[in-house]
Amino acid sequence: MKITSSLMTPIKSESDALIVSFFLGESFSPSAKDADELLNKQITQLHKNRDFTAKAGEVLTLFTNNGQRVVLVGLGKKSKCDLGTLQMASKNAIKALVKTPAQSVSNYISANEFENIDKATVCKIICIAASHAVYRYETTKNFKKDNKHSLKSMDIYADEKLASTVRHASSIAIGVEVSRELGNLPANICNPDYLAKQAEDIAKKYDNCSLSILDKKKMEKLKMGSLLAVARGSRNQPKMIVLKYNGADKSQKPHILVGKGITFDTGGISLKPGSNMDEMKYDMCGAATVIGTFVAVAEMQLPINLICIVPAVENMPDGDAYRPGDVVTSYSGKTIEVLNTDAEGRMILCDALTYAQEFEPQVLIDLATLTGACVVALGHVASAVMSKQSQLPQDIINAGIEIHDRAWPLPLWDDYQKQINTSFADMQNIGGFAAGTITAGCFLARFTENVNWAHIDIAGTAWENKKEGATGRPVAMMSQYLINESQK
């Protein structure tokens, strides 16, 4: 869906539909008054009869005399309207339209009407929420096209000062959609080779982007033993995808994002239960996040240098698969005792993080659906952030708060490191039941010493359930973080 800004009033709008917002118990906004005129005072009557009260998320669709749809959406009490309420209301309003043949909409949820939210944030939330509501997975469906989900454009009511904000929000929305589509694809399509080809298409689209790929032979030559151990059980060969965006002077050190790209995770020899194993196609959502963020940055043409690295691997059981008890040598030279082959994400990330440091990053962040323990700790509300640094995790958290794609810190104290000590190697790949998310972070910390690094566990946020599928989170948070970095 194309998203633009406009100052066209409801009276003059020629869009198929209008979205108009109301606060509970408040007088009508100028746009709401215009809509009321278009509807021959129907909104006034509905308020009097309490058929529409403007409670948070309430939606009602009316029609003008010429058949134009007008979606009324409630925002609840003005003093209590926060980013979550705005996001929910914006999604509900668009969902009411995706069920119809409407192709264009003018959105009059006005940034000027909010007490506790700044105008730029209002615009971003509306745009990203609207795009999220429009998305529908269709790639592997064989059905007759219906007339639903046909919204092609949305004008958001915003002045010239907010036009650049809307453009940024539109770019982030594109990145979120890319991430969701990659996450939702089945593993028989979205394998390491497919991710590499998608990265190639992305690099070709933008003049200031480039791509390099390490195949199995190159990784063997470099002795990336930890990553290659995970890949041994699959017929789908591993790829190390390196996407580069050059938006600043070459002398400026890059921000580097590393995304876990396990395109399917059976658990390997430590086989997962069969129930819900199909959901392990989402184990590459770290990769989907960094690719989606890369697209958003390229669309915005931010004045930074960005490198996104995706170790793309499939974890399968096989006669040649790595086993519990094996000791492998990572790219860093450190040895790892494998106690559980289902703790494979950290095994591929450690080699990717070591490789990333060769590009001398000013910031290094990895994102991964790494631990089920993270879902237990934070549910589906927030991603977990871990770092030895003080400012970096706070900057990430602040960006998430700003765009309502939130994260929360977990400690990486050295007290936890003893849980991954072993007598048979430099470390073992699991730390036991206690503090599983933190000990996974501790494992990665051993490969990122003296680096401005943070680890983000997105196991609870990158996807929710079979109906919702991939969420595209936290592309918005990472995009906002990089916007903030580009303005320093």
Do residue 128 and residue 245 come from a single domain? no
The answer to whether residue 129 sits within a structural domain is yes
The 10 Å Cβ neighbour count of residue 144 is 4
Show which of 116, 149, 182 is a domain's final residue: 149
Within 301-390, residue ranges assigned H as helices are 345-356, 372-378
Q: For the chain, give me the number of helices (H) and strands (E)?
A: 14, 18
Do residue 286 and residue 411 come from a single domain? yes
Q: What is the pLDDT of residues 135-187, one digit of tens each?
A: 999 999 887 667 677 899 999 999 888 999 999 999 999 999 999 999 999 99
Known catalytic residues?
272, 346
Where residue 246 sits, what CATH number does that domain have?
3.40.630.10
Where residue 73 sits, what CATH number does that domain have?
3.40.220.10
User: What is the rounded CA–CA span in Å between residue 472 and residue 78?
Assistant: 29
3-state secondary structure of 395: helix
Show which of 133, 149, 165 is a domain's final residue: 149
The total of structural domains in the chain comes to: 2
The answer to whether residue 159 sits within a structural domain is no
Q: What is the pLDDT of residues 181-238, one digit of tens each?
A: 999 999 999 999 999 999 999 999 999 999 999 999 999 999 999 999 999 999 999 9
The answer to whether residue 300 sits within a structural domain is yes
The answer to whether residue 165 sits within a structural domain is no
Which pLDDT score, from 0 to 100, does residue 150 have?
A: 85
Of 228, 213, 221, the C-alpha closest to 350 is 228
Do residue 249 and residue 338 come from a single domain? yes
The answer to whether residue 166 sits within a structural domain is no
SS (H, E, C) 424-444: CCCEECCCCCCCHHHHHHHHH
CB 410 within 8 A of CB 396: no
The answer to whether residue 237 sits within a structural domain is yes
**In angstroms, what CA-CA distances link 10 with 26, 27, 154?**
20, 17, 13
Which pLDDT score, from 0 to 100, does residue 160 have?
A: 86
CB 357 within 8 A of CB 447: no
Structural domain for 94, as ranges: 2-149
Do residue 449 and residue 372 come from a single domain? yes
Do residue 202 and residue 75 come from a single domain? no
Chain centre to alpha carbon of residue 110: 26
Do residue 384 and residue 460 come from a single domain? yes
Do residue 452 and residue 352 come from a single domain? yes
The answer to whether residue 312 sits within a structural domain is yes
Flag residues of the chain having pLDDT under 70: 144-145, 147
Do residue 262 and residue 377 come from a single domain? yes
The answer to whether residue 168 sits within a structural domain is no
